[in-house]
Structure 1
Amino acid sequence: MDCNFEQIAEAIRYVEANKPRQPSLAEVASHLGLSQLYFQHMFTAWAGISFNRFLEFLSVGYAKRVVEEENFSRPVAACTTGSSCACGLHAPVVHIDGMTPDECRGGAAGLQLHYVFSQSPFGELIVASTGKGVCYAAFADGGREAAIRSLQAAFPLATLQEHPDVHNTCAARIFQLDGTGVDEVRLHLKATPFQVKVWKELVEVPVGHLTTYLQLAHSIGNARASRAVGRAVACNPVALLIPCHRVIHSSGRIGNYHWGPERKAAIIGWEAALCTSCTTGC
């Protein structure tokens, strides 16, 4: 059964907007213009669990229970970085290197960027890379032409070419859930040393787990830097591979996301459902 992620996102958006009265599955399906049976089948095919069960993973209570864990050994965090598990999810090791001042200077003049488009369970992405690693990955919500313009705006003087290479192809395979054999992914990012430090810590947060800005600040050895950590997380140029969607507020509130709060909720719930389904095999 085909799954339009926009319908998934709209369902989550509708439930969130009407949370006080807890709309029924039938009401959500009606809002989407679908039958209840069709929506349930479509959603289960996408998430692997029912819509109502999925919503439990988005509750404040669930989020708070996860972030209160002091280590990443709980069952929902079983799909760890650098491993494969019974559910078929492969989490490669992510290496992060910052661009040199010369590479960043003057709008990245002289850089040759190769880009491809890739499908994912959460919508299409544009993925760009230099000769040293992936430098950019963003959801192409406004269409491909708009995505290319945004990439060019991020690297104004770089030369862009739509062309698969070893780096963007590895990333695309991971996004398409076909990452078997991809043991590592290299990122080559325009960033400050502090941003690189935060992002390196963030890629260690396993699939299915959540952290907070305060926990990240503690983990980099600066408990008073939670605001600066928040700014670094918000500047993440590589969707999914640097999992900024796994950072929530200490209150358990999911919070904002560059590519939409409903997409953040969808990714969090999807990852939790996936890892919960394979805890005995990870």
Structure 2
Amino acid sequence: MTQHQTLPTEAETGYHYQVVRRAIDLIDQAEEPLSLDQIAAEMGMSAAHFQRLFSRWAGISPKRYQQYLTLGHAKTLLRERFTTLDASHAVGLSGSGRLHDLFVRWEAMSPGDFAREGAGLTIFWGWFESPFGPAIVMGTDKGICGMGFAAEMGEEAALTDLFSRWPKADFIEDPMMLRPWVVQAFGAGDGQIDTAPLFLIGAPFQIKVWEALLRIPSGQVTTYSEIAQAIGKPQAVRAVGTAVGRNPISWLIPCHRALRKSGGLGGYHWGLPMKRAMLAYEAVHAET
């Protein structure tokens, strides 16, 4: 297995996320809120150790974080942190210095180039530890073009998934080439917004949907129907959902912030526990 690149100040977050993921699964299955002792026991840790480790990842206590993972949290987000994209004129995002919203500089591949399925394109790739477990990151000389997470589906499946997006491209394993951008992407850089560009590879309709996703501020959410309205295709809600699901640069193009109008989470390509963890992580940091 290829060795993962570890980011400065994020050296242990992959392991921490595994603990968080197991806690999320436990919380999902519980009919009532769980005590710190109960969760820690299931994790095979003392309460003090679990609280310390968990708080280092989330920034708050397991009890408080558990509130963000309840089934009603998505509805709360829609009620209190809903973003109307039609009214959003700012292309840039305004997250805190720790989050990926520090940059939105991006360009898109031309439709003709996209139709060639990556032919003539060189894509560099590498594995990195992230706040959400192992992350596969891909990029061209123009910027990051792919990001996926392996905590739920496994590393081989995640790697194959992204390779299949551009089957005719030339792939070169070179994590050091990508590392400066990845450092920025996970909030470990110096906050310079021009060091982590994105290179969007998709059909014109998909690009419009992904651009709309970039306008959703951290800690807030929108709906698939709102995105359809924002791109001038109000009847294309299902197509919007498909484009959201095909977003190749997860986390950075924040498809996890798109919810169903009912308040349901909808799907998430890399696993619903991952989507819930990302939303909770952002909600926590939006309040700190």
Counterparts in 2 of 1:131-280, with a 5 A limit? 131-141=141-151, 147-164=158-175, 168-184=178-194, 185-277=196-288
Higher mean alpha-carbon deviation, 91-100 vs 207-216, is at 91-100
Tell me the distance in 2 between the aligned counterparts of 1:121 and 1:231.
26
Q: Verify the 8 A CA contact 1:249 1:255 in the aligned structure 2.
A: yes
Tell me the distance in 1 between the aligned counterparts of 2:74 and 2:161.
32
Task: State the Cα distance separating 1:147 from its structure 2 match.
Answer: 4.6
**Residue 28 of structure 1 aligns with which residue?**
39
Q: Verify the 8 A CA contact 1:111 1:159 in the aligned structure 2.
A: yes
Kindly report the root-mean-square deviation, in angstroms, between the aligned alpha carbons of the 2 structures.
2.8
TM-score by length of 2: 0.81
- Of the three residues 4, 11, 18, the one matched with 2:23 is 11
Q: Verify the 8 A CA contact 1:97 1:196 in the aligned structure 2.
A: no
- Of the three residues 107, 116, 137, the one matched with 1:127 is 137
Counterpart amino acid of 1:135? C
Counterpart amino acid of 1:103? D
**Residue 125 of structure 2 aligns with which residue?**
115
Higher mean alpha-carbon deviation, 51-60 vs 259-268, is at 51-60
Summarize the Cα distance change of 1:143–1:62 in structure 2 as closer, same or farther, 3 Å threshold: closer
String of CA shifts for 1:255-275, please: whole Å, max 9, x gaps: 321111111111111111111
Tell me the distance in 1 between the aligned counterparts of 2:144 and 2:100.
18
Q: Verify the 8 A CA contact 1:128 1:134 in the aligned structure 2.
A: yes
Give aligned-pair identity as a percent.
Answer: 36
Tell me the distance in 2 between the aligned counterparts of 1:70 and 1:262.
20
Task: State the Cα distance separating 1:196 from its structure 2 match.
Answer: 0.6
Count of matched residue positions in the alignment of Structure 1 and Structure 2: 268
**Residue 6 of structure 2 aligns with which residue?**
none
* Structure 2 unaligned regions, length at least 5: 1-10, 85-90
- 1:98 and 2:108 equivalent? yes
Task: State the Cα distance separating 1:149 from its structure 2 match.
Answer: 3.7
